[in-house]
């Protein structure tokens, strides 16, 4: 057992490194270093912001993060993803689009949730989080009771959590965990609400994968009570 593991230093099970970074990716990380936030600066950056703060967890190739930031310059976005190749790609796109309203945390989101002031965040998005479908791996799923409680604390009243997933087991897991928490209200009137992507979310690589493999994504919006 690693005794150094703690709430702020949780065990991470996904991929952090993939293929060697290309020269252009290394250059993008260097040129775009100002977009990457340091742990020490997070509370400073987000404490006095009058803008809506949106956190996207696991931005992957960044399709949703980049398009959302482009379309809503009045908001400020924090994207988190520990996978270095995707961080480099996303920074490259931030530079290409001259975006000034995105910051990147290139690591596990759970390490910084306590850095945000209470009730400061407008929305948390998770598009196609890793499902960890095997029962013996259920503790590896990001959505857990503690995680929901932490998100609850930093969200503004009526702030929301938006989640997309195409995995049957994860769909039930998400509903079960949020309903158990009693702190959020599932925003649903009829089946159309969970069968179609919310208009503020963009098509991502994993949504494309789900269509290709004939799995239907579901979309959940939970509003803080």
Ligand X SMILES: C[S@@+](CC[C@H](N)C(=O)[O-])C[C@H]1O[C@@H](n2cnc3c(N)ncnc32)[C@H](O)[C@@H]1O
Per CB under 6 A, residues contacting ligand X are 14, 57-61, 80-83, 86, 108-110, 127-130, 142, 204-207
For the CB of residue 199, give the shortest distance to ligand X in the complex, in Å: 17
Pick the closer one to ligand X by CB: 128 or 194: 128
Pick the closer one to ligand X by CB: 140 or 156: 140
Question: What does the alpha-carbon distance between residue 119 and residue 86 come to, in Å, rounded to a whole number?
Answer: 29
For the CB of residue 16, give the shortest distance to ligand X in the complex, in Å: 8
For the CB of residue 184, give the shortest distance to ligand X in the complex, in Å: 20
Which one is catalytic: 107, 108, 130, 166?
A: 130
Pick the closer one to ligand X by CB: 146 or 158: 146
Q: Which residue is nearest to ligand X (CB)?
A: 58
Strand arrangement of the beta sheet that strand 155-165 belongs to: 102-105, 76-80, 53-57, 121-127, 155-165, 218-224, 184-186
Residue 130 annotated as catalytic: yes
- C-alpha neighbours within 13 Å on the C-beta side of residue 172: 5
For the CB of residue 97, give the shortest distance to ligand X in the complex, in Å: 18
Q: What is the DSSP pairing of strand 218-224 with strand 184-186? A: antiparallel
Give, to the nearest 10 degrees, the angle between helix 84-96 and helix 23-31: 60
Nearby residues of 87 by Cβ (< 8 Å), 6 or more positions away = 29, 36, 81, 104, 106
For the CB of residue 129, give the shortest distance to ligand X in the complex, in Å: 6
Catalytic residue annotation: 130
């Amino acid at each position: 057992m690693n005794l150094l593991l703690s709430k702020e230093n949780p065990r991470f099970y996904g991929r952090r490194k993939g293929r060697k970074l290309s020269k252009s990716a290394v250059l993008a990380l260097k040129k775009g270093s100002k977009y990457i936030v340091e742990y020490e600066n997070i509370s400073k950056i987000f404490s006095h912001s009058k803008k809506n703060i949106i956190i996207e967890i696991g931005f992957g190739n960044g399709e949703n993060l980049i398009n959302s930031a482009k379309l809503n310059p009045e908001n400020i976005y924090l994207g988190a993803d520990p996978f270095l190749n995707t961080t480099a790609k996303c920074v490259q796109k931030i530079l290409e689009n001259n975006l000034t309203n995105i910051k990147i945390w290139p690591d596990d989101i759970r390490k910084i949730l306590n850095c945000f002031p209470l009730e400061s965040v407008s929305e948390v998005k998770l598009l196609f989080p890793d499902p960890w479908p095997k029962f013996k791996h259920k503790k590896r799923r990001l959505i857990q009771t503690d995680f929901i409680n932490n998100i609850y604390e930093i969200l503004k009243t009526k702030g929301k959590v938006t989640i997309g997933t195409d995995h049957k087991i994860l769909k039930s897991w998400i509903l079960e965990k949020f309903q158990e928490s009693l702190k959020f209200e599932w925003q649903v009137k009829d089946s159309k609400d969970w069968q179609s992507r919310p208009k503020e979310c963009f098509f991502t690589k994993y949504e494309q994968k789900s269509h290709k493999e004939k799995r239907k994504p579901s979309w959940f919006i939970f509003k803080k009570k």
